[in-house]
């Protein structure tokens, strides 16, 4: 996702943040109306998916935050930046996902994140972590939110090293967030076909198979109170994202990855819930994201000022350089068709969204990429270049 700020907003100075992990240790444009007290379900073109009962045998996710102390600047001969904060070999129990956070608005401009990991006795090569400073809620929606990196799935790892390099000073209160996803019975019983739409009717767009929060093991006790009201009035469009995490995971890993992202967004970043409305893995599995109901226009935390009346759908992986698999694209077509079809939106059209900060309107494609709302590389170059094809495929599916 790279560095981002709202378009036209000031960017922040050059920070390189790196960490090391050891596995041995561990449509027509229109203005939205005022939100109703209790929105009625949208008239739907789609059949409703069947949701499963909550998993009863669950170990909740856990997250450990380790401080990254500031240090006197240590020059890096091959770069203009210097190391200004670092943590070496912080011992910890096993974890599977990592992110780095700091006090909002305190990072100098040009933030870059790198990391390497040790699995057993073997260190990986250094790897860049993406940062989207304005991904998530608008400042008016989550006043206690922290800035940070996108989370990265490292599978089974433990112990951590972090170094922060900057052309300016260090961000304040830097922490490494180490997440273990816990476990759920869904990991051995998941069958997304169970959630496929029932009794499809003629001329309707059938709801795709979707894995509910209950089935992927969302712990309701983690979720906080979202900014009121937690919904909009309709769905005007979709923002397509990528999680900017690892592309190396199994289908069985996916529920744990979603639980880890949920824990990181809530406990690491300070958001009220997972930011995305839906997530799609590389095997075509679709996961329910933010809580609130299938037919309500639930406001997520994915596109800063433009979360209201939009749905954020994230592809699980990093697609800056590689394209998503065909089955992943097929599932994205299915869920976008369902979301837009249920609100009578033209996938080839445009719509006006209103900034939650300034109130000013901005015109977007009904199917837009995250980078259209702010300065970011999300959803990755290969996905963004594919969006015109996505629009055509969704239009053909809706009919």
Q: Tens of pLDDT along the chain (399 residues)?
A: 544 433 333 344 455 555 555 544 444 444 444 443 333 333 333 444 444 444 456 788 888 998 888 887 777 665 677 877 787 876 677 889 999 999 998 988 877 777 777 777 777 777 788 887 767 887 767 778 899 999 999 988 877 787 888 887 788 998 989 999 988 765 543 444 433 433 333 346 888 999 999 999 999 999 988 888 788 999 999 999 999 999 999 999 999 999 999 999 999 999 999 999 999 999 999 999 999 977 789 999 999 899 999 999 999 999 999 999 999 999 999 999 999 999 999 999 999 999 998 999 999 999 999 999 988 899 999 999 999 999 999 999 998
What are the CA-CA distances from residue 124 to residues 23, 81, 92, 119, 120 (Å)? 11, 23, 19, 8, 11
User: What is the domain partition of the chain in residue ranges?
Assistant: 15-24+60-180, 188-398
Task: Quote the pLDDT of residue 51.
Answer: 44
Report the alpha-carbon distance of residue 108 to residue 289 in Å, rounded. 32
Q: If we measure between CA atoms, which residue out of 111, 97, 96, 98 comes closest to residue 147? A: 111
Q: Do the beta carbons of residue 70 and residue 85 sit within 8 Å?
A: yes
Contacts of 4 (CB under 8 A, 6+ apart): 131, 132, 133, 134, 135, 374, 375, 376, 378
Q: Do the beta carbons of residue 370 and residue 303 sit within 8 Å?
A: yes
Q: β-pairing, 237-242 with 367-369?
A: parallel
Joined together, the tokens standing for residue 360 give: 């000013």
Q: Give the chain's length.
A: 399
Report the top-level CATH class of 188-398. Answer: alpha beta
Report the alpha-carbon distance of residue 97 to residue 39 in Å, rounded. 36
Is 0.95 surpassed by the pTM of this model?
Answer: no
- What phi and psi, each to the nearest 5 degrees, are found at residue 381? -60, -40
């Amino acid at each position: 996702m790279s560095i981002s700020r709202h378009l036209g907003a000031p960017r922040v100075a050059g920070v390189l943040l790196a960490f090391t992990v050891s596995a041995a240790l561990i449509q027509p444009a229109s203005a939205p109306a005022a939100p109703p007290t209790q929105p009625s379900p949208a008239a739907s073109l789609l059949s409703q998916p069947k949701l499963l009962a909550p998993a009863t045998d669950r170990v909740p996710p856990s997250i450990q935050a380790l401080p990254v102390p500031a240090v006197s600047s240590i020059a890096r001969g091959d770069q203009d930046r210097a190391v200004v904060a670092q943590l070496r070999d912080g011992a910890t129990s096993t974890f599977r996902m990592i992110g780095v956070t700091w006090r909002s608005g305190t990072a100098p401009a040009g933030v870059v994140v790198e990391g390497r990991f040790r699995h057993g006795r073997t260190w990986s090569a250094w790897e860049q972590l993406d940062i989207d400073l304005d991904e998530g809620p608008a400042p008016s929606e989550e006043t206690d939110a922290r800035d940070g990196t996108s989370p990265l799935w490292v599978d089974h790892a433990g112990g951590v090293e972090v170094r922060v390099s900057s052309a300016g000073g260090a961000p304040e209160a830097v922490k490494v967030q180490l997440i273990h996803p816990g476990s759920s019975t869904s990991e051995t019983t998941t069958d997304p076909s169970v959630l496929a739409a029932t009794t499809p009717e003629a001329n309707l767009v059938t709801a795709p198979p979707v894995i509910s929060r209950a089935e992927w093991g969302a712990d309701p006790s983690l979720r906080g109170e979202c900014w009121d009201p937690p919904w909009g009035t309709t769905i005007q469009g979709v923002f397509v994202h990528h999680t900017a995490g690892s592309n190396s995971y199994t289908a069985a890993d996916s529920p744990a990855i979603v639980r880890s992202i949920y824990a990181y967004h809530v406990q690491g970043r300070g958001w009220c819930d997972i930011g995305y409305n839906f997530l799609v893995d590389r095997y075509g599995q679709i996961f329910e994201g933010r809580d609130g109901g299938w037919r309500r226009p639930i406001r997520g935390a994915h596109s800063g000022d433009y979360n209201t009346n939009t749905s954020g759908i994230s592809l699980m992986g990093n697609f800056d350089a590689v394209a998503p698999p065909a089955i992943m694209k097929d599932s994205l077509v299915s869920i976008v068709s369902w979301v837009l079809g249920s609100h009578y939106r033209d996938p080839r059209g445009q719509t006006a969204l209103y900034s939650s900060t300034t109130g000013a309107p901005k015109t977007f494609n009904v199917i837009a990429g995250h980078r259209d709302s702010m300065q970011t590389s999300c959803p990755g170059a290969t996905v963004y270049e594919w969006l015109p094809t996505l629009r055509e495929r969704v239009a053909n599916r809706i009919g």
